[in-house]
Amino acid sequence: CMVELLCAISYYLLFVFAGCRVSAVELTSSNTKPVVQEFQSVELSCIIKSTVTPDPRIEWKKIRDGETSYVFFDNKMQGDFATRAEILSRTSLVIKNTTRMDTATYRCEVAAPLDTKTIDEINIQLTVQVKPMTPRCTVPKAVPVGKTASLHCHENEGYPKSTYSWYRNSEPLSPDTKSNARLQNSSYTLNPTTGTLVFHAVHKGDTGRYSCIATNDAGFAKCEEQEMEVYDLNIGGIIGGVLVVLAVLVLITLGICCAYRRGYFANSKESGER
């Protein structure tokens, strides 16, 4: 009887403790969307919130452009992460000397075979910001008054994508000319997204040294100043030149007519026949 009683008590205690036991592995993170500048280190937080498995299996995967690759597998780093990454606090991942190619989704997976729910995972979206390179600027050297002038500024290395601002003689040009009394006489359109500055009808006041700055969250870069000259058209000179050309054409025509009348071309023809 005593043995049966002890067995009953044991089964009861086992049932009670089994019901109270935390039996699902669960993960959390202190930051699921970390942002870091290129060449710096970053920690991808993966924290085991609950488990009864003393030594769960940890894996990290990288998902970029629809392709999945291992970062940490079989208790060791994989690929190029072997020399620049490490596991911190059993589950978190530290990446050193980050590059733009590290921008991706990273998945932390934990397998706990002693738990009722044996597997859990959490995704970390890493963004590596890249400083803009020196933008390429195109500025026309000379434009006549009243004509259209297009200035271009662009770079494609920065991440996130750069926005652009133009300067004339080191003074910023506002995208909205109406908001600046000094620019109300100017007629231009500035697109900060494409970096294009278009003067619809230049005037003498638009002459100056132009430069452009590309900016994003990681920093900025500036191109060298370039001179644009706005000059007046010499209408009188153009008309005079046209008149001179017309006068020359008239004289040539008159000369040919006189030659025909005096028979120079006919004599030449007869001499040729003889």
Q: Over the chain (274 residues), what is each successive 10-residue block's mean pLDDT?
A: 48 43 83 97 96 94 97 96 96 97 98 94 98 97 95 96 96 77 71 96 94 97 97 68 76 78 61 49
Quick one: pLDDT at residue 92? 97
Quick one: pLDDT at residue 17? 43
Question: Pairing state of beta strands 35-37 and 119-129?
Answer: parallel
Sign of CA dihedral 46, 50, 55, 59: negative
- pTM of the full structure: 0.70
Residue 9 CB contacts under 8 Å (≥ 6 apart), including other chains:
none
Which residues sit opposite 164 in a β-bridge? 214
Picking from 124, 93, 98, the residue whose alpha carbon sits closest to that of residue 40 is 98
Quick one: pLDDT at residue 39? 96
